[in-house]
Structure 1
Amino acid sequence: MDSFADAFALTEISRVLAALALVLFAAIISRWQAVNLERQMLIATARAFVQLIAIGYALDLIFAADHPAAILLIIGVMVGIAGHTSGTRATGVPQARRVAFSAISIGALLTLGLLISLGIFRFTAQETIPIAGMVIGNSMNVCTLVMRRIQDEIEARRAEIEAALALGATGRQALAPYLKIALQSGMTPIIDTTKTVGLIQLPGAMTGMILAGASPLEAVQLQIIVMYMLIGAAAFTGLAAAWLTQRQFITTNHQLHRPA
């Protein structure tokens, strides 16, 4: 029986190719229903394959070297890409990329610094880089939501904000209610996810550990840490993004910038 099972066991690459069947079915459905997304699906699939294989080999080398400079370099690259992506999505905010890069850097630095200094994770490539990826990816989404919400609120409430400024309010006072709304908008998704974790789906870190052979209780412990970590990262990044974004809309004379 074992030899029969071994004969039909899929190698790692054949498992990946077998999973490709799901993408092909999705492309067929897209073609059948004239959704016209099949080309984008196939391009995305090819890009994901190349990018993940490349990062897999790169991480294998970095994990083997386990040098602090390499760890910091990878984190810096991730922050740079996240800042560029977030800033591109919030095009209506002046200096959006600089704001996003700064906010994500602050969120990542504070979160990772606390995790390592408290002894929750060690400053090794194998632990720090995957955790940094989760922190920075979550921070990128929070930053985008906060920046765009502040921009939308200012556009919608411009008359009210200018009236408050004319009555003597500082820029921070005039924008304070809208910064709170933006922070709520940025943090609500991760809070909602934390509320329902384990009830609707098994999160990524937990699933990965279970598939790798860890016990469910070990996987649960790590996932709890990850969820708490992401809430903290969202708070740090959201607050930094709100503070830096509002500075882009208020002059040193506490006046609201006119739209370009």
Structure 2
Amino acid sequence: MSNNLTVSNTTLVWGFGLVLVALVIGYREKLGINKDILIGVARAIVQLSIVGYILKFVIKTDDNWLTMACFVIIVINASWNAGKRGNGIPKAFRNSLLAISVGTVVTLGTLVWTGSIKFVPEQIVPVTGMIASNIMVAIGLCYRNMLQTFTDREQQVLEKLALGADIKLASIDILRDSIKSGMQPTIDSIKTLGLVSLPGMMSGLIFAGVDPVKAIKYQIMVTFMLLASTGLGSIISCYLGYREFYNQQKQLNSELLK
């Protein structure tokens, strides 16, 4: 079955016609997004091409240190992008790095320990990318929700502090809302698995000729993996991040909310 998959340079050129659909919509509706679309497509082509050749080399070399280097690069890059979404939250990169590192190591370590995947580059590198990218998105949502909610509830937090509450008690509702916002997209996607969406892991394995029943088992494993990793990433980033909204005197830093 896999021999029937023939994506050549020519077919990719014809496939670019699908991008034109988005460009036409952007032009006709005057959305002002055509430049972003073209830049995004160009970056995707270049980045994926580079990554493809790197992965080919890493898989062919099959060296543990090189595999670990890929792991570190993925985690640091995900942490950097998650930190940028902090919109001025102090130590956002450091907190994101810790959250993504812990979430990825715990989840990936569990998968290797249980024998779900093997410590080989063709499995470790793609799975690391899946885990880190999902935690990155979750952390970005956590930071965005935390900033907005602290701004909206500034007076409530000040009143709690004035009544003697410590910073955790004054922030607990915001923490819960922020953690929930980070995990909610993953939870929502789980609800529609098999009914609405056939996710990438399952579809890719079926394309490669794997028995659909076996592909489903891998997808269930991925579902467990993403749920655990986004949960860990969200709770760690939120519990580290909310402290940055207070100064050393445990007063709310109103300058951060402006």
Fold match (TM-score > 0.5): yes
Question: What is the Cα deviation at residue 79 of structure 1?
Answer: 1.5
For residue 78 of structure 2, the aligned residue among 82, 95, 98 is 82
Question: What is the Cα deviation at residue 23 of structure 1?
Answer: 1.3
Question: What is the Cα deviation at residue 193 of structure 1?
Answer: 0.4
User: 1:11–1:180: structure 2 CA closer, same or farther, 3 Å change rule?
Assistant: closer
Question: In the TM superposition, what are the counterparts of 1:107-146 in structure 2 within 5 Å?
Answer: 107-146=103-142
Q: Is residue 176 from structure 1 mapped to residue 161 from structure 2 by the alignment?
A: no
For residue 102 of structure 1, the aligned residue among 98, 102, 126 is 98
What is the TM-score with the length of structure 2 in the denominator?
0.91
Deviation larger for 90-99 or 67-76: 90-99
Whether contact under 8 Å (1:116, 1:123) holds in the other structure is yes
Q: Is residue 17 from structure 1 mapped to residue 44 from structure 2 by the alignment?
A: no
Q: Is residue 213 from structure 1 mapped to residue 209 from structure 2 by the alignment?
A: yes
Whether contact under 8 Å (1:153, 1:178) holds in the other structure is yes
CA RMSD across the alignment: 1.8
For residue 56 of structure 1, the aligned residue among 52, 57, 79 is 52
Separation in structure 2 between the aligned mates of residue 45 and residue 161 of structure 1, nearest angstrom: 44
Q: Deviations over 1:47-93 (max 9, x none)?
A: 21111111111000001112121112112111222112111122132
- The percent of aligned pairs where both chains have the same amino acid is 32
Question: What is the Cα deviation at residue 136 of structure 1?
Answer: 0.4
Q: How many residues align?
A: 252
Secondary structure of 2:205's aligned partner: helix
Runs of 4+ in 1 over 6 A off after TM superposition: none
Separation in structure 2 between the aligned mates of residue 109 and residue 221 of structure 1, nearest angstrom: 22
Partner in structure 2 of residue 162 of structure 1: 158
Separation in structure 2 between the aligned mates of residue 129 and residue 15 of structure 1, nearest angstrom: 27
User: 1:158–1:11: structure 2 CA closer, same or farther, 3 Å change rule?
Assistant: closer
Q: Structure 1 regions of 5+ residues with no counterpart?
A: 1-8
Secondary structure of 2:87's aligned partner: coil
Secondary structure of 2:165's aligned partner: coil
Separation in structure 1 between the aligned mates of residue 222 and residue 143 of structure 2, nearest angstrom: 24
Secondary structure of 1:259's aligned partner: helix
Separation in structure 2 between the aligned mates of residue 23 and residue 244 of structure 1, nearest angstrom: 41
For residue 43 of structure 2, the aligned residue among 47, 55, 65 is 47
Secondary structure of 2:81's aligned partner: helix
What is the TM-score with the length of structure 1 in the denominator?
0.90
Name which one, 1 or 2, has greater alpha-carbon Rg: 1
Separation in structure 2 between the aligned mates of residue 164 and residue 33 of structure 1, nearest angstrom: 48
Separation in structure 2 between the aligned mates of residue 85 and residue 200 of structure 1, nearest angstrom: 30
2:162 aligned partner, one-letter code: A
Partner in structure 2 of residue 4 of structure 1: none
Separation in structure 1 between the aligned mates of residue 169 and residue 246 of structure 2, nearest angstrom: 11
Question: What is the Cα deviation at residue 214 of structure 1?
Answer: 1.1
Separation in structure 2 between the aligned mates of residue 167 and residue 40 of structure 1, nearest angstrom: 49
Whether contact under 8 Å (1:186, 1:238) holds in the other structure is yes
Whether contact under 8 Å (1:79, 1:105) holds in the other structure is yes
Question: What is the Cα deviation at residue 44 of structure 1?
Answer: 2.0
Separation in structure 1 between the aligned mates of residue 177 and residue 33 of structure 2, nearest angstrom: 35
Separation in structure 2 between the aligned mates of residue 210 and residue 159 of structure 1, nearest angstrom: 54
User: 1:144–1:39: structure 2 CA closer, same or farther, 3 Å change rule?
Assistant: closer
Partner in structure 1 of residue 243 of structure 2: 247
Deviation larger for 32-41 or 233-242: 32-41
Q: Is residue 147 from structure 1 mapped to residue 108 from structure 2 by the alignment?
A: no
2:237 aligned partner, one-letter code: A
2:12 aligned partner, one-letter code: V
Q: Is residue 187 from structure 1 mapped to residue 183 from structure 2 by the alignment?
A: yes
Whether contact under 8 Å (2:145, 2:181) holds in the other structure is yes
